[in-house]
Amino acid sequence: MRLAKVTLIVLLAAIILCGCSQPVEKLPAVKVEFMHYNISGTHLLKINYAKAAYINKSEAPERIYLPSDVPFPGIHVFAYTSKGVTPITWVPIETEGDNITAYIGFRSPEDVPKEGEVLIVVVDAVDRMGRSYATDSTRIAWNPE
C-alpha cells in the first residue's frame, strides 16, 4: 500500500512537471564560424563554414543591426537573400581566434528564405570609416537541419 502511494505521488509529480515545462523556442538563423586575426595591422579573415539552422533563442545575438546603425569598427556578419540584406550581426574588431561563431538572424518570419534558396554569407572586418580590412564570403542553400 505504501509503495502504491509513493508511486502515485511520483507519477503525479512527473505529470505536473511535464505539463509546466514550455518547449524551447527555435529561431531560424545562419550559423557562421570564421577565423580572424590582426597581425601587425593586417587582418586575416576566413569563413570556416556557414549553414542554415534553427537555434535556441538563448543562442541568438542580443542585438542585430540595420546597415544604418551598425557600429564601426567591427566585424560585420550578414547575408544576401532574394529579399535583400539580412540584419547585421556585429562582433568587436578585437575578437581573434580560429573558431569564432556568429548567427545571422532575420527581421521577420516573412524574411526567412524558402527551402533551397541560395544565400551569400559575408564576413567583413571594417575600420571606423567603414573601409574593409578583410572580407570573405560563401554561398549556402537554405536547408536547415
pLDDT digit string, tens, across residues 90-144: 999 999 999 999 999 999 999 999 999 999 999 999 999 999 999 999 999 999 9
Q: Is the pLDDT of residue 48 over 90?
A: yes
Catalogue all structural domains in the chain, each as residue range(s) with its CATH number.
26-141 (2.60.40)
- DSSP-derived secondary structure for 64-122: -B-TTT--SSEEEEEEEETTEEPPBEEE-TT--EEEEEEEE--SSGGGSPPTT-EEEEE
Q: Cβ atoms within 10 A of the Cβ of 126, count?
A: 20
User: Who's near 51: CB < 8 A, 6+ residues apart?
Assistant: 30, 31, 140, 145
